[in-house]
Amino acid sequence: MLEKIEQLDINLLIYLNGLGSETYDKFWLFITNQAYWTPFFLLLFYLIYKKVGGKQTLYILLFVAVLIAFTDQTCNLFKHTFQRLRPCNNPDINTIIRVVQTRQSFSFFSGHAANTMAVATFLYLVLKRHFKYFGLLFLWPLIFAYSRIYLGLHYPGDILAGYFFGALFGFLIFLAYRRLKPQYFPG
């Protein structure tokens, strides 16, 4: 059963990765670079600041920082426990997929997917009543994580597991925020 799932994961990677072409490689390299998302983050937190004020924005940023640290460290623990080779480093498939970028770390599960989904889930739960179309925020983790498949850095299963853990951690941190807010973060 596990072998069947792994083969399905590989086949889906080969298909999705194969949709790429050199024409779009620079675009997806741009998308996968976290630094280039800085204007998006600044705009997002400016909009949050305008809706909830400076004090609440700082509280939200504090929880986002804790969330990212927790999610990232959990991801690293999983990567070192499972030690799944990235597609770009897997000799069984790296000659039949498009390898646009390489990394030497392990693959399972995707930190990019986990971190972005965790933050999107947390922010959505905290702020959905303030913004009419705030659900569009979930496009960010979808686009960001697809770049990892496109570049040959992650299997779709790595992305899905990252989404699952990210959504779970985002929800748990939201519960902590909701519980602590009245006592420690009123406003």
Question: What CA–CA distance (Å, rounded) separates 3 from 86?
Answer: 17
**Cα distances (Å, whole numbers) of residue 126 to 24, 47, 63, 65, 134:** 35, 14, 11, 15, 11
pLDDT in tens, 131-148: 989 999 999 999 999 999
Report pLDDT digits (tens) over 14-27.
999 999 999 999 99
Given a cut of 80, whether residue 187 has pLDDT beyond it is no
**CB of 128 closer than 8 Å to CB of 5:** no
C-alpha 58 chain-centroid distance: 22
Burial (CB count within 10 angstroms: exposed 0-12, middle 13-18, buried 19+), residue 80: exposed
Please give the biggest Cα pair distance in the chain. Answer: 56
- Rounded to the nearest 10°, the torsion over CA 37, 38, 44, 48 is 150
Q: Write down the pLDDT at residue 1.
A: 87
Quick one: pLDDT at residue 25? 96
* % of the chain residues with pLDDT over 70: 99
Q: So what's the pLDDT on residue 186?
A: 78
Q: What is the pLDDT of residue 184?
A: 78
Tokens 């699952």: give the residue.
164
Strands (E), 48-165: none
Minimal CA–CA distance to 9: which of 137, 110, 102?
A: 110
